[in-house]
Structures are given as C-alpha cells and as structure tokens.
Amino acid sequence: MQKMTDSKILESMEFTYEQLVDLKAALDKTSIVAVTDKKGLILQVNDQFCEISKYSREELIGQDHRILNSGYHPKSFFKEMWRVIGNGETWQADVCNRAKDGSLYWVKTTIVPFLGQNGKPERYISIRTDITAQKNIKKIAHIAYHDDLTGLPNRRSLSKRIENEISNGLRNKNQFAVFFFDVNRFKNINDSLGHKIGDLFLIELARRLTEIDTQSNSFYRLNGDEFVYILEDVKLVNEMAEKILDVFKASFVFDEYEFYASVSLGISVYPDHGENVSKLLKTADVAMYAAKAKKGNSFSVYKKLMRGSNDQFLILETKLHKALRENIFELRFQPTYNLQSGKIIGTESIIYWHDEDYGEMNPVEFLPFAAQCGLIIEIDQYTLKHTIQQMAQLKPYVADDFKISVDLSTDYLKDTNFIVDLTTYLEETQLEPHYIEIEISELSLLDTDLQLYDKINQLHEMGISISVDDFGMGYSSLSYLREIPINLLKIDQSFTHELNLVPANAKMVAAIISLANALNIQVVATKVENGEDLAILKELNCAFVQGLYLNDPLPLQELIAFIAKH
C-alpha cells in the first residue's frame, strides 16, 4: 500500500533530473530503480535491479529493457507504454520479466518521464516492486510457455530453446538437431470422428512422446498435429528418429474407436542446415515433406537439393499448373493377381509426373502439395479421364470381369461435376461401367457424410465397383460396411508387411479376411514386397494381391504386352 502512495506522489510532482537522482538514492533501499535515456537505453540501475535480474551493472548499462523481455506480453502492451510516457505521462502496470538465468519475475512498475526545456521527455526513471509471490509465477509461466491441450512446451518456448541452443553452439562449437513432424492424415481423424477424439489422440501422443524424452522438456507442440523435438547430441539422430516412429506402432484406443496412425519426420542440423530459428524450422519442414514421399512411418534428414528448399514451393505450384495445361502426366498400372491361380484379374491406375528439373515424382510426392494448392480436383479429373481412355484400349486384351481401379480424393467425389465427368468419359470411350472401380480411403467413410454416401450409391447403381483403400488404418466401428455398397477391401501395408516377423499382423489379416467373407466382400493385400509375405498370405486364403514383389507399375503398352505373355 505504501508503494502505491509513493507512485501517486510521483505522478503529482514535477522534478528536475538532479532531484530524480536524489529520489533514486532514497528509493535504492526499498525499490528496484533504473534510469534510461529518451530512447530507452539504460543509464543507471541500482543494486536491487541487478539482484532481481541477475545481470551485472556492466551488462545492463547501454542496453534497453528488451534484455529482460519474457515474451509474455504482446507487442501492443509495450507500444501503449511508449505512447503514454512519450506524451510525458506517468505509466503504471504489472510487468513479467525474464532474468539472466531464464527465471521469470513480476514487478509492479511505475515509469516517470523527465521533460526537457522543449517539453518532451529526455530521460525516464522507473521504480519497480517485486510482486512475484502474488502473481504465482509458476502458474503464469506454464500458461505462457506450454500448450493448453497437451501440456507440452509451446511455440514461444521452442523459439527461446532454439535461440539458447544457437548461443551455446556459437560459444562451444556444438551441433544440435531439430526434428519437425506431423501426423499423416490427421485431418481425416478430426473430420471423421470429431475434434473430441482428435484432442484425445493428441493428448495420448504427447504422453507417449514424453515417455521417450530422456532430455526432459524437449518435445514441443507448435499447433494442430505439428510437433518439434530438439536433440542436443547429433550422433543420436537415427536412434531418436526410430524411437519417435516406434511411438506409432501401437494402436490408439478411445471410447469405441481403435485406430493406427503414422508420422512423417524431417530433421535439420545446426549450423549445417540453418543458423537461425526460422531457417532451421524451414529446412526441417522441407525434410518432413520428403519423408512423406516414403511409405508409412518414415524420416528424412535435410539435403540442399530437396524439393521445396530455397523457397521453391511457388515454382513447384507453377510447374503443376503447366503440367495440367500441357497434359504431361503419365499413368502406370499396378497389376492385381488372383493369389491362388496366378491370373491377372485387374490393375490399379497410378499417376506420375516427370519434370525436367525435379525428375520423376510419384503421387505421394506431389498430390499432398497439389491439395494445398487447390489443384487436386483438376488432377483427379485428369486421372479419371485418362484411366477410362486407357481401359478402353486395354479392353480387347482382358476378360469381361477385369477391373481397373482409380484412387480419387473425397474432394472430387463430392464435387458437383464428378458424376457428370464420369458419365461423359464413359460415353466418349463407349466403355461399360463395370470395368471401373473407384477407390475410397477408409478414413473418409468413418463420418456419416450423406453427400459422399449418396455419390457411392449413384456409382453402385451405374454398375461401378467400390473399394476401400488403406483398410485397417481406420476404426473398430465398421457400420459403414453395412450402410454402403462395398465390393473390395484393400488391406493396408502396415498389416501385410513382415507377416513372418510380426505374428499380430498375420492375425489381423486373417481377421479382416474372415470379416470380408462374412459380408461377401473381396480382399486385396497391397504393396507385397517379399516372397515370405506372399506365401503367408496364400496360407491365409487371401484372394488377391498386388505389390512390387510381383510387378513394378507398367505403362499401358507394357501392361498389354505383359498380359498377352501371361
């Protein structure tokens, strides 16, 4: 209460600079005092200022108060302060500062301007009182520097951490690594099951990450499903990357839902890949997109020639527009086999893009970027049109029950022009609808989207087959299998891989086959890559398979020759 009285007295009095200096001396025993020039540079501080800030007088003189900035207050807070004192008025507020050792403290602050002969401030005297205890600093610090949902340190805390690591690196010539990762198809989890399940997933993910954090407080949540990890020992980059990927091996279970998730992880190293916060995060982000081009859980370390580096996203978008205008994409076809007879019974259409600068890119590499650019529907239109055209050329060489499948985004499936496009392409080629199979991601079917369900029923009435892609990566609620006409389930690679090494995978495949048989739905095991998995799938009575072990994707003429030969 006495300190508030002192402040009011200060506001009502006019002082010469010499009187303020005398007043400062009187306050030295009870208050935290500093004198600055008109630009805010510190001219004098008392012992209590040094004690609470943990800076020496020599470290403070000549600096401005940004040396104490905790990051807690928005820029508008200090903008208003300068407006008030710049007008020659006294300013009061509670301020959260950061000491040299990183600790936070609160001070009740009064800043009194000293006006020169021109009526404008020439110096300022600030009088502060420590109110840290009243402010419950631990609670405030946690709110300011931690994510509300997961409890992990937040973006503000991350920036401070990287800045500190850079300072240590400059002094000691140390390296450190920045891991940037997000959850593949996290948007589908939110869209399908709602934000409640999405939030529960993020909380559980944060808990699992904390369990493998041997450095303590080194995982950070940026926003949404984006996370960052700071690794101080770069020799452990591969080991730590594998630990993060392993977090996703076990399923996530919430209420009646059970599902698996995967992650794409990009890594940058200081100072090789950046010497400031923004550059290190940027290069790690570029590496993450390179990881997305791989299969399932994967990580990549940044390389200078990676697509997306050096701000080339705009160039890539321009190239995509040009590729659409000039029709320079290519379709290749992955044959599907009857596992018991060895007969080719169908094929999957896969779009590739060859660019003169970037080389060849598969759909995993460029379709996510195309979706961000708003080009996914146009690319899907291209894929559907040319798939139907090439099926018409393939028709004389295959049986009447042969099917060509095409994977389309839900954005295109729900587009008002989709059915019109499909009907037009079929009429132009005079191709019967039963040759076409439309693939839909399982995650897109989990929320009862009446618009999507209506399109699926229209496709069924036209005689077009429907297959569910990535089956098994969704949830234990399988009511959609009864509600919409599904012809085929494509088992996700995470279950068909290493069947001889992971018994649980074989059990899961057997369960899916049993479920499909009960519902009179066919099953395809996708992305089969070795003979051991193929033999086990045959023992499990899996009807159909496809994968690189059997064939690489083939251009149309090579597929025709291959079918004729077999």
Summarised one tens digit per residue, pLDDT across range 310-357 is 455 667 778 888 888 888 899 999 999 999 888 999 999 999 998 887
What is the three-class DSSP state of 462? helix
Q: What is the pLDDT of residue 559?
A: 94
Mean pLDDT computed over 156-163: 90
Q: What digits encode the pLDDT tens for the residues 357-394? A: 778 888 877 887 787 778 899 999 999 999 999 999 99
Mean pLDDT computed over 56-70: 92
Please check the confidence at residue 488 and state whether its pLDDT lies above 70.
Answer: yes
**Region of poorest pLDDT, from 132-146, 210-224, 323-337, 510-524:** 132-146
Dist CA 361 CA 383 (whole Å): 15
Which DSSP letter does residue 101 get? T
Please check the confidence at residue 13 and state whether its pLDDT lies above 50.
Answer: no
CA distances from 68 to 33, 54, 276, 357 (A): 14, 10, 21, 48
> In whole numbers, what is the pLDDT of the chain averaged over residues?
85
**Number of other CB atoms surrounding residue 149 within 10 Å:** 13
Edge-to-edge strand list for the sheet holding 298-301? 219-223, 226-231, 176-183, 263-270, 298-301
Dist CA 555 CA 566 (whole Å): 16
Q: Are strands 465-471 and 522-525 parallel, antiparallel or unpaired?
A: unpaired
What is the three-class DSSP state of 461? helix
Q: Is 541 left (phi over 0), alpha (psi -120 to 50) or beta?
A: left
Dist CA 35 CA 55 (whole Å): 16
Q: How many CA atoms lie within 13 A of 353 on its CB side?
A: 23
Sign of the C-alpha dihedral computed for residues 89, 92, 96 and 101 taken in this order:
positive
Instruction: Assess contact for 297 and 261: CB atoms under 8 A.
Output: no
Q: What is the pLDDT of residue 24?
A: 56
Alpha helices (H) in 232-362, listed in sequence order? 237-246, 277-292, 313-326
pLDDT band at 477 (very low <50, low <70, confident <90, very high): very low
Q: What is the pLDDT of residue 479?
A: 62
**Region of poorest pLDDT, from 43-47, 245-249, 260-264:** 260-264
The CA-based angle 209-214-217, given to 5 degrees, is: 65
pLDDT band at 306 (very low <50, low <70, confident <90, very high): low
Mean pLDDT computed over 512-529: 87
Q: Is 308 left (phi over 0), alpha (psi -120 to 50) or beta?
A: left
Q: What digits encode the pLDDT tens for the residues 127-157? A: 998 888 776 655 655 677 888 889 899 988 8
Tokens of 432: 């019967």
**Region of poorest pLDDT, from 267-276, 289-298, 329-338:** 289-298
Dist CA 360 CA 412 (whole Å): 25
Instruction: Assess contact for 39 and 17: CB atoms under 8 A.
Output: no
Percentage of residues in the chain having pLDDT higher than 70: 87
Position with higher pLDDT, 482 vs 298? 298
Mean pLDDT computed over 107-119: 89
Which residues touch 545 (CB under 8 Å, ≥6 apart)? Answer: 336, 337, 339, 524, 525, 526, 528, 534, 537
